[in-house]
A and B are shown apart, each in its own frame.
Chain A
Amino acid sequence: MPFIPHTEDDVREMLATLGVPSIEALFGEIPAELYCGELELPPALKEMEIARLMRARAQQNRPLLCFAGAGAYEHYIPAAVWAVTGRGEFYSAYTPYQAEASQGTLQVLYEYQSMMAGLTAMDVSNASLYDGATSLAEAVLMAVRTNRKSHSRRILMPKTVHPFYRRVVETIVSSQALELIELPYDIETGCIDPASLETHSDTDVAALVIPQINFFGLLEAVDELTEWAAANGAIAIALVNPMALALLKPPGEWGKTGANIACGEGQPLGIPLSGGGPYFGFMCCRKAHLHQLPGRLVGRTVDAEGKRGFTLTLQAREQHIRRGRATSNICTNQGLMVTAATIYMALLGPEGLRRVALQCHRNTLSLMNGLAAVDGVERVFSGPFFHEAVYRTRKPAREIMDGLAEQGILAGYELARDYPELGEAILVCATETRTEEEIELYVRRVASLLEL
């Protein structure tokens, strides 16, 4: 019996204490007709056997040299991050309901909130949401709740927001009578044209989503966009890559007054790709909107002797107190991932993080310069990008994807499904983990596929 410690004597004594003849008798209140009989499940495996099986499964995954981003990024993760995060005391603890016996988790979360508030230049951060897409959905819902200037339920959602995020937002807000209005992008620059917002200036809008960097890897005119939102009584929701914030102007400093809410995907901060999860979503806001922030919050306080300590706080926003009227239904979040991110940020520090961001930027610049010189390849958009970019080839993108995969390279993400207007376009990313040789290899492989 794996993981059940009872000896035969234990069971006998326990049944005797209970005064029942068998364990079966303890199920006497369940109507007999509900019992299901033998389940069709495979027989039990010993640890060595499951280890063998999983190693074989792992071998069925093909390692590809990663040039894909599109919402999940391969960054180097220092050994110390998971060596400490994986400690049983973090790994096997529950949500810190008993604060005095959970000071480790609580202090980590407080430090995490502090680091995220610093990185985004916002006042406060929550203790995590599920992932980037759900953080945007929660931000949209929060914006509608907080916006006192507008009674509208209209949200301006640029097409330069990750298409996966847009579909999740649609699913999550579908039953709340919100209207998501798609904002087009300028086909030359690949960015939102702030002038295009003028058509919405006479309508009541609850919020504007501002992605920085946008899905194409490009830099949006965040100051103008934030100011448009401020001038039109709309909440400015910044959707940001935390890695980029080591280099780029943080949401709290956009425009004259800064964004109202910042959210996004935390995966770049020390979380492995892992096929799509677990990652974590983050959300930061201004103090004024604190009571509408969804998710757990950790606050600093003192104990009975005046000593500093930490505890979950402002729980009246949450489902276990407010039930049907809570700010969100979230309960379990992504705590362990946030622990890893905190350790990652502490290790890298402001300068280390800036250097990683810059190296990603430089690598993608060098990749795009290489590709631009290849006959049959063109860069799709003109403006500056951070660590992702879009190129178009004279051959079908699918052929490039397949051809490179055959040679062990993940070429990027094909845009045709979500952006047919861009033609045979691929979104590509070279993070700090790619070497010069690998970048040259990528360019050579694309070139030779195009020569065929």
Chain B
Amino acid sequence: MLIFDRSRRGRAARAQWLPEAGESPVIPDHLLRKSRPSLPEVSELDVVRHYTRLSQQNYSIDTQFYPLGSCTMKYNPKVCHDLANLPEFLNTHPLALERAGQGTLACLYELQEMLREITGMAGVSLACAAGAQGEFAGVLMIRAYHGLRGDSARTEMLVPDAAHGTNPASASMGGFQVREVATGPDGNVDLAALAQAVGPQTAGIMLTNPSTLGVFDQHVQAIADVVHKAGGLLYYDGANLNAIAGKVRPGDMGFDVIHLNLHKTFSTPHGGGGPGAGPVGVNDKLLPYLPLPVVAKDGPRYRMLTEADRPHSIGHLVTFAGNVGVLLRAYVYIRMLGREGLRRVAEFSTLNANYLLKKLVEAGFEPAFPQRLAAHEFIITLKRLAKERHVTALDFAKRLLDYGVHAPTVYFPLLIPECFLIEPTETESKDTLDRFAEVMAAILKEAETDPDRLKSAPHSLSVRRLDEVRAARHPDLAYKAE
């Protein structure tokens, strides 16, 4: 039932109504609204019950194992939420941050510094609202760098074919032609293909390491050399930092510019789609171009750097200072981990991934890169099942839902057919992994004996398999009163 179906003319959450204040004495009639906006008329209990019930139709980290590859669905500590929601933080107006938000700025400044240390970069800006915006900022900085040197021939951005879709999308939003670089059979970037692709037209390369294939590219230094020698810069997509945090730093691998996903590695919640935060880090070459604002410390006071301090900055990417509430959560999280804790994140997420991979191989699943160690995530392919039993990765994923686990990422990266990208994260116990492996094995058996059970899954959720083709063919995107 939609909230609109509960609506009754004359019903209302009256505790929320202010006293009637009459008409406006000054706004001319032709600028006033005549139509009643189609919002529901419901009681407060209607609202609370309706949305509480809806929440119960979600799988979430708090209620289910959620091994969604590339998304780092680890536990979001409640204390991060609580402390970011202290009223003094919540009630600070963005235009009063310097005047009245010194406590907030102190946290942001320290977060900036800690992220600088963790990534091995020279400077960090916290302004970007999500990973994709961080990428876009990075692309603009690369553009500004070449531009200021009068190097206008660099029109191409190299992007490995395994990259997340936001990489090519950000590169083209930043005005570059995207040139794909192939992946070799071992999951590393194909160095021969790279050598062919680079040239005087290369602005840079956008690399994820460990890649979205769940393996660490062992040739990263060689890649850096090739691209740097050609005059290009290296961009690091930090969505997978969980695998190496505290052990290996993008700056030390030779990257010039990076973004992090705080809503992945640093455990801020994903909120059913967002908000996130995508801080960017740069080395000395790109420091002048960093997006604004950046928090600076002048003696005992914190302030926001402006164009006057950073005349070559690419500028502002969001209205104010970025997703401050998300940044505060990440700050709390990192302070709780400390230096030891951070390294353990990488170690235990890697342990969990390799253990689960092994258990699944033992259960008969086919790894995409059998000769490789897993990073914090790994890929299995169900192509044999698809061929022999006509059961697809999607069918398998839907059946997993019946067993009370969220499905891994499916059909990404696109170059591995019928794939599952599985990321258990470090906050899951061995018991959870063992149970998941058992469920996977059970479904595999079902696929042999009763494939229709998978093809018609899910069976036990609030809805059965949804018709996505119909949704796209006959878009119904808003409720209309009959």
Whether A14 sits at the interface, judged by CB under 8 Å, is yes
CB-defined contacts of A223 to chain B, threshold 8 Å:
30
Judge whether A345 and B39 touch: CB under 8 Å: yes
Task: Tell me if B41 is interfacial: C-beta within 8 Å of chain A.
Answer: yes
Contact with B along A327-352 (1 / 0, CB 8 A): 01111111111110011011111111
The distance in angstroms between the C-alpha atoms of A385 and B26, with both chains bound, is: 8
Is A309 in contact with chain B by the CB < 8 A criterion?
yes
- Select which of B15, B97, B129, B272 is within 8 A of A95 by beta carbon: B272
Contact B103 A130 (CB under 8 A): no
Whether A275 touches B321, Cβ cut-off 8 Å, given contacts A14-B355, A114-B479, A349-B13, is yes
- Per the bound structure, the CA–CA distance linking A277 and B316 in Å amounts to 14
Interface segment among A148-156, A201-209, A355-363, A443-451: the answer is A355-363
Chain B residues within 8 Å of A249, by CB = 30-34
Do A100 and B321 touch across chains, with their CB atoms under 8 A apart?
Answer: no
B390 within 8 A of partner (CB): no
Contact in complex: B100, A336 (CB < 8 Å): no
A338 to B272, CA, bound (A): 10
**A3 CA / B342 CA spacing, docked (Å):** 11
Which chain B residues border A39 with CB–CB below 8 Å? 117-118, 246, 339, 342-343
Question: Which stretch of A70-78, A181-189, A230-238, A434-442 is in the interface?
Answer: A70-78
Which of B81, B86, B130, B165 contacts A333 (CB under 8 A)? Answer: B130
Which residue from chain B places its CB closest to the CB of A246 in the assembled complex? B37
Tell me which residues across on chain A come within 8 A of B38, comparing CB atoms: 114-115, 118, 350
How far does the alpha carbon of A305 sit from the alpha carbon of B325 in the complex, in Å? 42
Across the interface, which residues of A come within 8 angstroms of B60, CB to CB? Answer: 88-93
Closest residue of B by beta carbon distance from A116: B478
A195: interface (CB < 8 Å):
no
Least Cβ–Cβ distance between A386 and chain B, in angstroms: 8
Nearest neighbor of B76 in chain A, beta-carbon distance? A92
Contact flags A192-218 to B (C-beta < 8 A → 1, else 0): 000000000000000000000000000
A323 to B119: give the CA distance in the assembly, Å. Answer: 27
Q: Which of B30, B40, B291, B318 has the most CB of A within 10 A?
A: B318
Query: Considering the chains assembled together, what is the distance between the CA atoms of A31 and B77 in angstroms?
Result: 33
CB atoms of B332 and A54 under 8 A apart: yes
> Would you call A283 an interface residue if the criterion is a C-beta within 8 Å of the partner chain's C-beta atoms?
no
The answer to whether B464 and A307 touch across the interface, beta carbons within 8 angstroms, is yes
**CB proximity to B under 8 Å, residues A29-51:** 29-31, 34-36, 38-47, 50-51
| A51 contacts B61, C-beta separation under 8 Å | no
Residues of the B chain whose Cβ atoms lie less than 8 Å from the Cβ of A158: none
A92 and B270 contacting across the interface, CB-CB below 8 Å? yes
Q: Which of A68, A83, A279 has the most CB of B within 10 A?
A: A279
Tell me whether A41 and B35 are in contact (CB under 8 A).
no
| Contact between chains at A329 and B96 (CB < 8 Å) | no
- Chain B residues 15-44 with CB under 8 Å of chain A are 15-22, 24-28, 30-42, 44
Can you list, as one digit per residue, whether each of B1-25 has a CB less than 8 Å from chain A (1) or not (0)? 0111000000011011111111011
Within 8 A of A (CB), among B154-204: 164-166, 168-175, 178
B465 at the interface (CB under 8 A from A): yes
| A299 to B248 CA separation, bound complex (whole angstroms) | 43
The reply to whether A352 and B59 form a contact with Cβ atoms under 8 Å apart is no
- In the complex, the answer to whether A168 meets B62 with C-beta atoms within 8 Å is no
CA distance A331 to B170 in the complex (A): 11
**B429 nearest in chain A by CB position:** A5
- Name A332's contact: one of B89, B131, B267 (CB within 8 Å): B131
A278–chain B nearest beta-carbon distance, Å: 4
Question: A213: shortest Cβ distance to chain B, in Å?
Answer: 10
Let me know if B321 and A276 touch, CB within 8 A. yes
Known: A80-B47, A277-B322, A343-B47. A13 touches B430 (CB 8 A): yes
What residue of chain B has the Cβ atom nearest to residue A56's Cβ? Answer: B103
Contact with A along B312-335 (1 / 0, CB 8 A): 001111111111111010001011
Query: Beyond A35-B247, A80-B47, A94-B270, is A18–B33 a contact (Cβ under 8 Å)?
Result: no
Known: A100-B398, A168-B319, A347-B44. A92 touches B104 (CB 8 A): no
Q: Which 3 A-B pairs have the closest CB atoms?
A: A335-B273, A336-B271, A276-B320
Other A-B pairs beyond A127-B273, A321-B165, A346-B50, 19, CB < 8 Å: A5-B429, A13-B430, A26-B351, A58-B87, A80-B47, A100-B458, A101-B58, A107-B54, A130-B275, A134-B129, A219-B31, A247-B27, A273-B94, A277-B324, A290-B475, A301-B471, A311-B468, A319-B166, A331-B166
Contacts A/B (CB < 8 Å), 13 sampled: A39-B339, A89-B58, A108-B54, A219-B27, A265-B319, A278-B325, A303-B465, A313-B468, A332-B263, A332-B276, A343-B47, A355-B19, A384-B24
